[in-house]
Homo-oligomer: A and B are copies of this chain.
Amino acid sequence: MNLDQIFNAAQQAFLSYKNLSPRKKADFLDKTAEILEENRGAIVMMACRESNLPEGRINGELGRTTGQIKLFANLVREGSWVEATIDPAMPDRTPLPRADIRRMLRPLGPVVVFGASNFPLAFSTAGGDTISALAAGCPVIYKGHPAHPDTSKFVGSCISQALEKCGLPAGIFTHVEGGVKMGQDLVKHPQTKAVGFTGSYSAGKSLFNIASDRDQPIPVYAEMGSVNPIFTFPQRLKNELLPLAQNYVNSLTLGAGQFCTNPGLIFVPKALAEGFKNAVSQTITQVAPAPMLHEGIAESYYKALNELQLRSELNWVKVPDAQHLINASPSLAEISVQDWLKDDKFQEEVFGSFALMVIYDHADELTHVAKHLHGQLTITLWGDPSELQEQEDLISLLEEKCGRLLFTGVPTGVEVGFAMQHGGPFPATTDSRSTSVGAHAIKRFARPVAYQDMPVSLLLDELKDENPLGIMRLLNGKWTS
């Protein structure tokens, strides 16, 4: 099939899929999870081979993927996510009667999804973007990631199998393959209504530009990563020096540092810098070089480090071991806060387990840092309750720069739940009003439609007076179920 045929099939499928009952939509999602689980052995073997990630991790990631699918199945089955809002008619209102107006979220239409190399399952073919779009009622055209083509195709066939078993049109999910040109053509296609993307800044931003330049601009939800700064404060750092150093190194080197929430930037008070540096340094040297996703990524990691090595502002605490094929070793450099503030280059993400440790003299300097900081997925503050209390203004500034603020643990390990926000101000994402992880991700692929004086026989169940689905609704401005 050529692209026009693929989109015509998707659009045709959309007309029935968008009106499918929540229960049947949920059943299809559950069936997808079930088929993935049935094929666990094959999927894990393929994904390990193609990603170089260890079996334990991939096994866990498949569990995360099917858990995520079940979360959306339950969300759709429950049904309240559509924000049903009903203002009943007031025929006797003066000076003018009020019409009956009922509003709910409706799916956008065909969605194009690009997966991530670093999560061959959870952020790829049957990952959060695809599943939340399907849950919203949108057909998905998914472009397989060239870093794991077999896994992508196989998982795609599991989704298609689930559609078939549920008696739903095949056009609801299509797996396509191709390079940059294919990606651009998908975003340019007039029938595309939205785009989900996880990956690099350059790729995400270029898709955003294409989408904005279309005759009909469309939303692009591109999650492009960030450096996820951690701010440490003296009292807590002093009290928990070793465990915090250990936690930090664990988070930094997890999965060879290939996470969008990898904490590549840490602010440390000068008085404790030596101690923390030593603790981190001791731990980090024990971390063996780990294979990265593919040679291109390892090459980019070392290239970025070589560029930084030319910068006189940096003092290297742990120089990376020489590159050996696809393997990358963690590395760490320090810089003064004054020097860090002088060049935006020091805010750029180095994809991999590299950290920049910024030494500050006094917490006052962090106000400048906060104002200077680019948008982030996460920002972490490690301080005792008393010292955090003194940083209310700083916290208020930092809140404007991220989607998630953490106060104890590390930013890696993004919980899939109702309250998760995985998205932040540009350049972390192209749309800070959305999340790509957690239940709220479904709302990216829907828009509100109001029905005025619609005959009862045409109303969707979500908007009927008797509330047959028993969902939470805003009726006359009051929440009711």
The chain B residue sitting closest to A219, CB to CB, is B433
- B452 and A85 within 8 A (CB): no
Chain A 445-469 near chain B by CB (<8 Å), digits 1 or 0: 0111111111101100000000000
The answer to whether B452 and A409 touch across the interface, beta carbons within 8 angstroms, is yes
A453-B408 in contact given A415-B98, A426-B217, A448-B421 (Cβ < 8 Å):
yes
A101 to chain B, nearest CB (A): 4
Copies of this chain per assembly: 2
| Inter-subunit contact A404/B85 (CB<8 Å) | no
Complexed CA–CA distance, A431 and B431 (Å): 12
A178 proximal to B (CB < 8 A)? no
Please give, as numbers and ranges, the residues of chain B lying within 8 Å of A106 by CB-CB distance: 399
Stretch in contact with the other chain, from A326-334, A356-364, A389-397 = A389-397
Chain B residues contacting A99 (CB-CB under 8 Å) are 406, 408-409, 415
> Which residues of chain B come closer than 8 Å to A446, judged between CB atoms?
433
**Stretch among A141-149, A166-174, A471-479 lining the B interface:** A471-479
Q: Tell me the count of chain A residues lying within 8 A, CB to CB, of chain B.
A: 80
Q: How far is the CB of A283 from chain B (nearest CB, A)?
A: 20
Q: Is A103 an interface residue (CB 8 A)?
A: yes
Q: Of residues A98, A403, A450, which shows the largest number of chain B Cβ atoms within 10 Å of its Cβ?
A: A450
Pairwise interchain contact B392-A87, C-beta atoms closer than 8 A:
no
| A188 part of interface (Cβ distance < 8 Å) | no
**A400 interface contact, C-beta 8 A:** yes
Interface centre among A15, A103, A396, by most chain B C-beta atoms within 10 angstroms, is A103
A243 at interface, CB cutoff 8 A? no
Given A399-B106, A418-B85, A477-B418; A385-B101 close (CB under 8 Å): no
Give a binary string over A153-194; 1 marks a CB under 8 Å from any B CB, 0 the rest: 000000000000000000000000000000000000000000
The answer to whether A433 touches B406, judged by C-beta atoms less than 8 angstroms apart, is no
Taking the complex as formed, is A212 at the interface, i.e. its CB lies under 8 A from any CB of chain B?
A: yes
A10 smallest CB distance to B (angstroms): 13
Instruction: Tell which of B15, B393, B403 touches A396, judged by Cβ atoms closer than 8 Å.
Output: B15
Those of A396-444 within 8 Å (CB) of chain B: 396-397, 399-400, 402-409, 413, 415, 417-421, 423, 425-427, 430-433, 435, 439-440
- Does B479 lie within 8 Å of A407, measured CB to CB? no
A440 to B82, CA, bound (A): 13
Q: Point out the residue from B375, B385, B405, B413 that lies within 8 Å of A457, measured CB to CB.
A: B385
Contact residues, A292-334 vs B (CB, 8 A) = none
The answer for the CA separation of A418 and B432 in the assembled complex, in Å, is 24
Task: Return the CB mask of A52-87 against B: 1 if under 8 Å, else 0.
Answer: 000000000000000000000010000010010111
